[in-house]
Amino acid sequence: MLFNSFEFIFGFLPAALLGFFLISRYANRSLAIGYLSIASMFFYAWWNAWYLLLLLAEIVFNFLIGRQLARDGLSPVRRLLLATFGVATMLAVLGYFKYANFLLGVLDQLSGTSWSAGAILLPLGISFHTFQQIAYLVDSYRRKAPRYRFDEYCLFVTFFPQLIAGPIVHHNEIMPQLQSQSLLRMRPLNLAVGLAIFSAGLFKKTVIADSLAQVASPIFNAAGHGAVLTTSEAWSAAVAYSLQLYFDFSAYSDMAVGLARMFNLRLPANFNSPYQATSIAEFWRRWHMTLSRFLRDYLYIPLGGNRRGRARQLANLMITMLLGGLWHGAGWTFVLWGGLHGLYLAIHRVWSRVVPAPRCDAEARARCFLGWAVTMLAVIVAWVFFRAADLPTALGMLRSMAGLQDRAAGSFDDLVHREKLLLVGTGLIAVLMPNVMQIFGRYRPATFPYAARDWFAALRPLQWRPNLWFALCTGAVAGCGVTAILGWQSEFLYFQF
């Protein structure tokens, strides 16, 4: 079930809200949490009911392992073995569904065999809830996870706003909220703030991201079938996809934050205007923030982080980003995408030791602009590998972007010319405008703090308030978002991960 569908907006969501708060008022906490868990499972099963059984099996397995790790009296060796068994089992399940055929394909190329695991349908959201539960197991081993009730843990994993495409929620962020009495009381302000944020995300998805897809998809698809592109066509497709991915994934993240707020819960934000970053390190502090946090806390730091010398630090960066790329998909294009970002971060780390980062004041604006331009160029080039169906397609796109292709027919010149205003307008929004979390900043919509920009003080009229003017604006945005569903409906890009 898609957030951008009539079934969800006019059917599932009202039923989930009304049922939860009615049970909270007239029954008890356990029944209310149970109802929301069952509703979330129904939401997941709408796509494939059989994979709900897999999700439930993982929840029970991890809960029991976590309970055992929380016991007193277990020897350190047994605790380590139990935690290793739990994490390895979760990774094995993820590996089978996501990487079995990829790894067998690599083995076939090396050995000349023809192994295959058959057609494997990837369960929705498996990468997200697997990492979420691995963090719980590791923290249980470290004795940083209190004992939770099963119904609370079940809702922590299955809560429908973040189940399919994140954000990757940490247990210590959501569990205290589930245990709070304020969870059970309907709050009109939370409903208003949540609905407004959801509407903004819906608009970003159906009006902006899906419009950008009409530019990026046909050109990338043509390149995948061997078409030779002109330089302007290749750059237009790369920029369109970069913006489509930003608005698509940030739309889902905003909608998740808005939906959770309707239920009196705050999820972590995933985006902080990443296309405004002036370095690649800043980009990763702003893009997919919960994944960056997980990779830092549960991979980069355990590998040694920056504590074992410069060479080891650079190697740790590369390993982390390679695995981060592989997390996104089982293919060499994703491995190369992660490797490129690992290389970018390594170069930035070496460069920052030689040349200190400029302060973005009046004297350093030129350097900041140059840093932003280099960062965006690097990010857009890497997105080509992320989007391309295979390596030849990506390399062909890059050759066209570099002006090295000849005999290009210019088949998409009319499309590029017609949508030029769309690319420029959405690019300016991503680079210059405040983001949704900043617009709603006075109501602290997410658990990650957003640093206020000096120039944003001059744009206080853009900050949302519960009054008639913003009610009309929210209604108009929601109306446009819902109307756009009639013309084009698509899954969120991160559903494939």
Q: Give catalytic residue positions.
A: 328
8 Å CB contact between 256 and 162: yes
